[in-house]
Amino acid sequence: MNKQTNFFTWTEESIREAAQLLIQQEVVAFPTETVYGLGANASNEQAVAKIFEAKGRPADNPLIVHVSNKDQIKQYVTEITPLAEKIIDAFMPGPVTVILPSNGSIAKNVTAGLTTVGIRIPDHPAARELIEQADIPIAAPSANISGKPSPTSAIHVYQDLNGKIAGILDGGPTGVGLESTVVDCTTDVPIILRPGGVSAADIEQVTGVPVKDTARHEEEQTPKAPGMKYNHYEPDAPLALVFGDHTYFQALINEYQQTGKKVGVLISEELAPKLSADYMKVCGSIIDLSTIAAHLYEGLRSFKRTDVDIILTETYPEEAVGQAIMNRLTKAASITHHQ
């Protein structure tokens, strides 16, 4: 498939043009506060099929539906459960998705044939303006080639999908940098299926009940949420997780280099002065893990412009957004080194 991809700078007029493409059952990439989404009319199976075609994404992987307000959520579910109500009121618009019973109005290839649907209200004005202008629910996974790091800028989308989709709406770099937290709200306790910008502790605080976390045990035959099956976020060279101090990290770099490999490292600004490698990419500070999250995918993508043979990455405490960071790094990695 090769088509003209329109590149829109975010203006009122470009929002209208992008919305028209969605109404015409085309696929348009747009910014959210998490990552760029690849959007299509969530109630039209033919439109949604174009998402899977463009991404090369397996069709049994459900998509998240994006709406612009709480009233719109009610149009696509049989009920907003009490748990979901609390999460929606506390965190939406924001980087959280609730899974609720579907009323059947969303296309089957969005829900992967399940009786549930994941819905969120994005916290990016361009996204909400686009949804309101199109006046349709928008199904939108990340706007990248399936299995590769998600896009956090319009240029990332262009690099992956130019010629494969109808349009790209440029709303600048994303903020959170990692996909939304996905919470199953169809049971008595909230179940985190994918960690993200809203932590388990955040959800426990507003719901008043303990959160069950299945993100570490998520290989299901029928996943309820994106990111629960298949490889994700893989950079262009093998990624190795390093659990150990800087001397161990440097010893690993040296060992790889002695075998003739060029080594890239993905690290924090605190670790950077302590290491020497062929290519170094600093993502942020361990003092504020949200900075690591915001630049993680851009960091993984940066190695495409190098000739490294292996990428070694620092690992982080699995607390708050650190759990989401490690979830993504673990899925992206094919090698693990422990001191």
Cα dihedral 48, 49, 53, 55 in deg (nearest 10): 30
Q: CA-to-CA distance for 285 and 269, rounded, in angstroms? A: 6
Is residue 156 a known part of a binding site?
no
- Is 66 annotated for ligand binding? yes
Residue 216 annotated in ligand binding: no
Residues 309 and 263: their CA atoms lie apart, in Å, by: 6
Is 140 known to sit in a ligand binding site?
yes
- Is there a binding annotation on residue 146? no
Q: Cα 335 vs. chain centroid, distance in angstroms?
A: 22
> 3-state DSSP helix/strand/coil percent for the chain, to nearest 5?
35, 20, 45
Is 120 assigned a ligand-binding role in the annotation? yes
Tell me which residue of 224, 245, 216 sits closest to 331, measured CA to CA: 216
Q: Would you call 158 helix, strand, or coil by DSSP?
A: helix
d(CA 212, CA 11): 42
Q: Which of 317, 21, 272 minimizes the C-alpha distance to 167?
A: 21
- Asked whether 183 and 98 are in contact (CB, 8 A), the reply is yes
The annotation status of 180 as a binding-site residue, yes or no, is yes
Calculate Rg over the CA atoms of the chain: 20
Host H or E run for residue 280: strand 279-282
Q: Annotation-wise, does 256 bind a ligand?
A: no
Instruction: Tell me whether residue 254 is annotated as binding.
Output: no
Residues 279, 284, 287: CA angle, nearest 5 degrees: 135
- What residue numbers does the annotated binding site for ATP cover? 57, 61, 116, 150, 194, 233
Binding positions for L-threonine:
34, 66, 120, 140, 142, 180
Residue ranges at the known binding site: 34, 57, 61, 66, 116, 120, 140, 142, 150, 180, 194, 233
